[in-house]
Amino acid sequence: MIKLLQKETTPVELHITTSPAHSVLIALKTVAQNQNNLEDEPWLKQFATKLFVDELKTLKEIFEDIDPALIPSQEYAIFADYLSDIDLKSAEAFTFLKQMWRSHFMPVWDRQHYLQSLADNLNTREWPTRVKSAESVVKAFLRRPVPTFIGRELGGVTKLVFCLSPFVEFQAAKFDSDTTLWIFVPSDPKKLPMRYEPIQRSEVTRLASALADEARLQILEMLAAYGPMRSQEIMEQLDVSQPTVSRQLKQLKMTQFMFEKRDGDASKIFELNNDRLGEVTHLLETLLSTANARMVLNDPRLDQPAELRKFLNEDGQIHRYPNKMQAQQLLIGYLATKIEKGIKYSEKEINALLNEWHTYKDPARLRRDLVDFGVMERTADGAEYWLV
């Protein structure tokens, strides 16, 4: 359990989990209460289209007034264990929940073989940030401004549970506790906004350079003072040429310090992005934290190509296997550097070595790919393996 501080005295617990019971419950509740507004939840939108009219009706009836017995009493790694623990008065609700799991959710869940290792990795990592409130914890995890629907639930929260879910994009629920907030985030590592490597100086200097100019700072000051402004109004205030203002506006827009939109007459209107200013402060604070600085100095990923780093954790272990062939070749080449040339390994020995360098417990896949990519050879019976 990671301990983070809220203000000076109240500890905020941060925990990452994969509980399928909670994931399914929040998914069904979201569909029941937002059947016609699921644009931000693509999996749930597709799921809703597969339900029959009577199923949608049953779903709405069950989740309009949730039976307290439905709320999981603990985290469950296996959905069947959750079903055996709940005691519903309605046999129809129990049957419905069981049917939904088997027909729609279980086939998706069974493909999430890496999920637990991802959660374990996130729970044990050292967080490169200084956080002082529940809001700061959420912002540190999501790496973006706290969404409004989460922010309004943070009052009195002393424990945050981030649940990796293959069914929802972003949802939040307190269930039966006023002090524990569950936040559901995508289980797909490509969608998960968590970063897997420390903040680099270049990330800060790129943004700082956009602010290292009096004219650009003056533009931001005007937007802060007067609100949204047309480009013509900005030019008049600065008393400089149109090309000069255009260059300044372009850089501020590229670094997301302001928004650009079109008015009815097609003229451009610019508005200050207050959230971006908070992100820069957070980024700088993270860069200069002790944990981040130590990670930069000791992180083995920083010597690897950028395309490969996203598949490695801070210990240099492979935490997920890429889908693209080019990335697979890079990863297998990286793995080959961990194998000593001139030694013949038994299948048991090569499996043990591979298990040291990946976290999701599939040495057979890595062993086969080492051979298929021509990095290793083996005897016909697979009894011995050696580096080419």
Per-domain residue ranges of the chain: 2-186, 201-277, 305-387
Closest of 135, 158, 157, 171 to residue 275, by C-alpha: 135
Closest of 65, 83, 64 to residue 73, by C-alpha: 83
- 201-277: CATH topology is Arc Repressor Mutant, subunit A (1.10.10)
Alpha helices in the chain (DSSP H): 20-33, 42-50, 53-64, 79-85, 91-100, 106-109, 115-124, 134-142, 148-151, 201-211, 214-226, 231-238, 242-254, 274-287, 290-298, 306-309, 325-336, 347-356, 363-372
From the number of C-beta atoms within 10 Å of its C-beta (0-12, 13-18, 19+), residue 256 rates as middle
Residues 9-28 pLDDT 10s: 356 888 899 999 999 999 99
Per-residue pLDDT of the chain (388 residues; tens, 9 = 90+): 444 433 343 568 888 999 999 999 999 999 998 877 888 899 999 999 999 999 999 998 888 777 788 899 899 989 999 999 988 777 888 899 999 999 999 999 988 877 888 788 777 765 544 445 788 778 777 766 688 889 889 988 999 999 999 999 889 999 888 999 999 998 876 666 555 567 778 888 888 899 999 999 999 999 999 999 998 899 888 878 888 889 999 999 999 899 888 776 667 899 998 777 777 877 787 788 776 777 777 778 878 888 898 898 878 899 889 988 999 999 999 999 999 999 999 999 999 999 999 988 899 999 999 999 999 999 999 999 999 9
pLDDT of residue 8: 40
Rounded CA separation 157/11 (Å): 10
Rounded CA separation 243/309 (Å): 40
pTM for the whole structure: 0.55
What Rg do the C-alpha atoms of the chain give, in angstroms?
Answer: 25
